[in-house]
Each structure stands twice: as C-alpha cells, then as structure tokens.
Amino acid sequence: MLQRKIGSSYWETSAIALGIMRMSALTSSKAAAVLETALESDINFIDSADMYGDGKSELIFGAALKEANISRDKFFIQSKGGIVTGDDKRYDFSKQHLLDSVDGILDRMGIDYLDSYLLHRPDPLMEPEEIAEAFDLLQASGKVRHFGVSNFNPEQFQLLQSYVDQKLLINQLQFSIMHTGMIDYGMHTNMTDTRSFDHDGGVLEFSRRKGVTIQAWSPFQYGFFEGVFVDNDKFPELNELLDKLAKKYETNKNAIATAWILRHPANMQVILGTMNPTRIKESAAGGDVTLTKQEWYDVYFAAGNDLP
C-alpha cells in the first residue's frame, strides 16, 4: 500500500482513506467489520465531518471502535466542521462554533483528540482572526494536532493562512476520472473552449507548490453525486478499458480507478466513501498498482476527454 506524507512531511499515513459519511446507516457491528476491513487493507486514515448523518456517523464510529476493540492509535482520525444543517442552515466559522464542533466530535467518537480538523467549505462571512483564536485554543488544549480546509480556492486558502500560525496541510477537493476540471483547464490554456475555463483558481498547481495534500473525495462519482461510473452502462468505453487494465494488473476496476488518481504526481490521498467491505478491499488494491503514463492518458481519453 502506498503511503502519503501529509502536507509534504508533517506525518505519514496510508494513501487511501476511509470516509465515514455513510456509516450512519450501519449498526455498530457492521461498522466494526468495516473498520476491521480497512485495517486489513492497510487503510489507517479515517475522514469524517460533524454533519455526516447529523452526527450519527461519528456516534456509530465511536461505538464500532470499541466493539472491534481497535485502539484509537491505529487510526489517523480527521473530521470537518463549519456546516450547520436544519432550520438554521448556514456555514459558520465563528470561534465558538468551531470550539463546540470539535468538542462534539470528540464526544461522539469517544476519543481525546483529532489528528486533523478541516474547515468544511468556505464561509463567506469568515473572520480569520476568530478562526486563528479557535485554532490556537484547539491546538494548545491537545484536542487537534493539525489543520486544513475543504473545497477552498487558493485565494481563500492564502487569506486564512495569513492569519493562522498553524500550517494548513490539507485541502479536500472533488476529483476522479469523471471529474477532472482541475487538470482539464491546464491543457487547454490559451484556448476558448469550455475546458479552458479555470473554475478553481489553479488550486491543483497551487497545492503542489505549497506542499498541501489534496484529498480526493467522490473518487468513483461522475457529476456532483449523480452516481458511480464503474460498471455504469452510460460509460461503456471507460469500463471496457478499466476491465482491460484490471486483467493486465490482475486486479479489479475500482482498483484501477483508484490507481489513476494516485498516479498523478500531486501525491493525492484518495477518500473512499463505501461502507461495503468487498468494495473497500477492491479499491484499496489500487495502492499496489502503478499505471504507465500512456495508460493514465488512455483512461483520461476513455472518460470522454481529449487533448487540444
């Protein structure tokens, strides 16, 4: 299994992480089996958010950790905060909300600290001075060891970084074979077609230059949660090639889709969202596959992309 140095060199963990957004639908016993499968597959990174299942995902995770008798130190545990759901729907990066968010996460999970805490989507009303105070308190208390963001563009990232003392190590961004905007525009520079549009402010290049780890979420989705592309009849050419490569590397389609992301030199970390133990094993196998450059491009083309 490939390893990733988060934020270039702050700590090393598995290149594939397990996201627990869907864990709220499981019993603690089934969730325990999921965690056991993750460890058996050399996945030691957990990604969560305080709003997943309105907090139930983290409650189930905490119960599963105990039921499986897995030591907290077996996992690098990350969660996110800043999204308020329900009748008072909003983004909220206020100092008190962030402090309360972390306390709630730790209580639900039954743990003493988070390895990393991310701001979950940018709040246009954020006041960086408040965030800096919250980060200082969370770090000083030992409740959070490292910090990052999710779905921030470079200007938002740099604005926040200019106020906080802690290096922002992570930016969580959607990326997959069927969601390639971060790389499309770079190849279509100086052109006027739709693929030349830069929707993200050069966030991929920015992250590489700053040593920020991109965590790729929805690695098997097309569109915005429209569905998975693996074994989807809408994408026959892509699935035919995934199957061909899976046979060559004696693995499976999910592994090839994972390997395609990991092949990019930005050293991304892939966040799996499945709660199916078989799918976890299949996807984790991608950490043992290194596609050639031609194979990487062939997959890119099979997904409907081109070169200018």
Residues recognised as catalytic: 52
| Residue-wise DSSP of 17-55 | EEE-GGGGGS-HHHHHHHHHHHHHTT--EEE--TTGGGG
**CA 171-173-179 angle, 5° bins:** 155
Gap between the Cα atoms of 42 and 36, Å rounded? 10
Give the dihedral sign, CA 45/51/55/60: negative
Residues 286 and 254: beta-carbon distance below 8 Å:
yes
Q: What is the CA radius of gyration of the chain?
A: 19
- Residue 123's closest CA among 164, 83, 167? 83
How crowded is residue 73: how many other Cβ atoms within 10 Å of its Cβ? 9
Q: Is the dihedral of CA 125, 129, 131, 133 positive or negative?
A: negative
